[in-house]
Chains A and B, each alone.
Chain A
Amino acid sequence: MSKHKNLHDLEDQIRQCVKCGACQAHCPVFAEHKREPAVARGKIALAHALLDQDLPLDERFVADMSKCLLCGSCFDKCPNLVPTDEIVAAARREIAERRGLSNFAKVVGQVVKRPGLMKIGLKGAGAVSRLLFRKVPQSSGLRLRFPAPWIAPDRVLPEIPTQTFRDRHPQFIPGGEGRPTVAFFTGCMLNYMYPQLGDALLKCLKFLDISVYIPPDQGCCGLPSITAGDGRTVEELAERNLAAFSQGEPHTIITACASCNIGMGRHFASLGERQAEIGGRVRDALVVLEREGLARKLARLPKKEQRIKVAYHDPCHLRTQGITKEPRALLRALPGVEFVEMEGADRCCGLGGTYSVYHWETSKKIGDRKAPGIEKSGAELVATACPGCMMQLQDIITRAGLPQKVVHVLELVARDLPE
């Protein structure tokens, strides 16, 4: 059975914070608020006070705990490795247990638990998208025509496809003999909103003769419900993924979404022994492609005359795991790409799951800090490795009135592969 740690279980980690204040340098939310309750050190102190019953679990506590992107930047740079993201997630579960789930969390839970619902919802949305949304000029995105709860009216969302990625492809796609097999955890955004990213990944794997198994019964990684404090839904989803990925050989499990990578990796792995074994096999697709020699192979192709200038945005959920070199190595190797480094490449886009829903104004401010770097880089495309970041970045770019389009590194790699 999947089981979460609660705040009491995390007491040792909470005590591990020595209040040095280093997190102030790395927290995107603190950079905007500049108030102590916004930063990891403050949140840990508040969680500690709740445990010691020095503070009540009141509206104020709920508000403070909501001010976290769960990006993991503080954990990554903490001299004492205090897992603030885990502590905040546990605090949010504690809130939900004592006060009930928020309406938004309930909706998220229903959607992520029922793939059928998501499919119908998206299919429906696809069909009525022309009615609900209007196309934003100069971007590949849509803006809501009418107010809808939880979606800010000025937020740009991607166009919605009519067929999901998993419906488009068989469960098993054989590669070359003696070549490795990987299992593909697609995640929701890729499956329902950006299926072309999955297509691109399959093309890359085919080029390397790698076989792909796409477990049909897989579900959501659970990260949306982790950020919403809905522990029960996370545990249910984990059961489903445990079953889906327990079958067959213990292959490497690849993701093409940074958030799914941390959801199916670190968070899933914290739920039990078998989960740890499966979570330990989760790798980002770009890391696997790079290790399988794709960058080397691409670098040998003749450079194209007309190359597109591309910058790269580091998704927090890869950067905080130290995955920064592989995506850049692939981009540099592409014959049709001229890679340029941009200022603030490692800055958070400000999405943070439920964070951007509850704190859209701050989320925008965090994201808008990326705009000058994108503009100055002179890039035509901004590539990244997370569908969530893609959505947020396109929104930032549109708001800043910039011409760039946002793509996944995989799309560029697939485009430059020889047929």
Chain B
Amino acid sequence: MTRYFTSDHEWIDVDGDVATVGITDYAQGQLGDVVFVDLPEPGRVVAKGKEAAVVESVKAASDVYAPVSGTVTENNAALTEDPALVNTAPEGEGWFFKLTLSDTGELAGLMDEAGYKALVETL
């Protein structure tokens, strides 16, 4: 399994053509206390760079974009019960949704962990 990152602060774990998507620790720190996550339903087709979910902090609603194109297969029901998982475990239990990739070629444009770390250091 390989983990990639986007410049919009999403992470994506890829195993073959199946991927899990969430937001990074940096992203959750910027958002502050998460109180609700609007997740895509299984079956929804999402396009790379387009809105896939909405994360609501106390202060504001922020869009979460799909790092790659594909079809949603599952969303994280645990976030409905406990949205704060996004704050406490953003890169683990606080994952958002899983999808089947429609074009694995899109992964080529994403960053690896070192690349993302370097990006965050410039912010």
Do A and B come from the same complex?
no
Please list the residues of chain A having a beta carbon within 8 angstroms of any beta carbon in chain B: none
